[in-house]
Amino acid sequence: MRRIRSGRHLLAPAVLLVLAVGCSGPGAGSGSGSDRTGQQITVFAASSLTDVISTMNEAYDGGGQLLINLGSSAQLTAQLRSGAPADVLITADLEALQAVRDEGLLGAEQVVAGNTSVLALAPGNPGKVQALADVAQESVQVALCAPSVPCGRAAERVLAAAGVMVSGESREDSVRSVLTKVATGQADAGLVYQSDALSAANQGVTYLEVTDPEPNQYPAALTAEGAEHEAAVRFYEWLAGEEAARILRSAGFQPAGT
């Protein structure tokens, strides 16, 4: 089961997906982020996991109901720090966890995947981009993530390693916003994760490989609250297993630690 829910229990607008996973017993359909009836598991996941999380839901048979809150890593950690209930937090880089870690909000952490950056090109390549260096041309419309979010930090590393300077670019708050601009032709090119570029292939998006000196590592963290929730612990442990790794690889993610 998959349906869109209101974000009224959270402190900022977000997309919520209620995903039933082997539900049993009374109360399994509850939509409250703090209600434990039906073994509900509240998962905060980075927007670059939007597509793969549904596949994970279909494969996971550990019991419970997943309540998925999708957003930028910065948005999710801000919500958690402001008191929003969550059992598992998955961000798009390690740095995004630092603030919640410092506040003692995490119970355990593990890296579950890696993701390398690529240069996504708008359908038909209207900017005639043939290499990363081409994004420095004034005629090329470029979209990048803001440097305060994981995809922005990754973009800065890639551009610095290549010695490429970009001016007048659009700065977005999430990688999905960059991808949308590229897919709709609002930008000629944009630095996104490989998994995102692959997910937009059916929209005509292509990509060029670039040198990524430090591919992003995706940590999954069990929150202090989630550590007391048996169903959440089972899901957290499943994320480190081979089945979850296979699903992530098939979506364009890399094995953890690469």
Judge whether residue 152 has pLDDT over 70.
yes
Both 82 and 201 in one domain: the answer is: no
pTM, entire model: 0.84
Residue 193 annotated in ligand binding: yes
Q: How many domains does the chain have?
A: 2
Name, in order, each residue with C-beta under 8 angstroms of 111's C-beta and a sequence gap of 6 or more: 94, 217, 218, 219, 220, 256, 257
Residue 256 lies in a domain: no
Both 40 and 132 in one domain: the answer is: no
Residue 170 annotated in ligand binding: no
Residue 207 annotated in ligand binding: no
Residue 98 lies in a domain: yes
Average pLDDT over residues 27-45: 59
Both 110 and 129 in one domain: the answer is: no
We report the CATH number of the domain holding residue 245 as: 3.40.190.10
Instruction: Give tens-digit pLDDT for 201-240.
Output: 999 999 999 999 999 999 999 999 999 999 999 999 999 9
CB 70 within 8 A of CB 47: yes
HSE-CB of 71 using CA atoms within 13 angstroms = 22
pLDDT top residue among 257 and 166: 166
Both 92 and 19 in one domain: the answer is: yes
Both 15 and 102 in one domain: the answer is: yes
Specify the pLDDT at position 194. Answer: 98
Both 237 and 188 in one domain: the answer is: no
CA-based diameter of the chain, in Å?
60
Q: How confident is the model at residue 63 (pLDDT cuts 50, 70, 90)?
A: confident
Residue 48 lies in a domain: yes
- Enclosing domain of residue 159: 117-209
Residue 30 lies in a domain: yes
Residue 258 lies in a domain: no
Both 106 and 14 in one domain: the answer is: yes
Average pLDDT over residues 38-66: 89
DSSP string across 78-132: HHHHTT---SEEE-SSSGGGHHHHHTT-EEEEEEEEEE-EEEEE-TT-TT---SG
Mean pLDDT of the chain: 87
Residue 195 annotated in ligand binding: no
Judge whether residue 14 has pLDDT over 90.
no
Both 88 and 182 in one domain: the answer is: no
Q: How confident is the model at residue 35 (pLDDT cuts 50, 70, 90)?
A: very low
Bridge partners, residue 118, by sequence: 192, 209
Residue 125 lies in a domain: yes
Give me the count of residues in the chain: 258
Q: How confident is the model at residue 58 (pLDDT cuts 50, 70, 90)?
A: confident
Judge whether residue 195 has pLDDT over 60.
yes
Both 178 and 198 in one domain: the answer is: yes
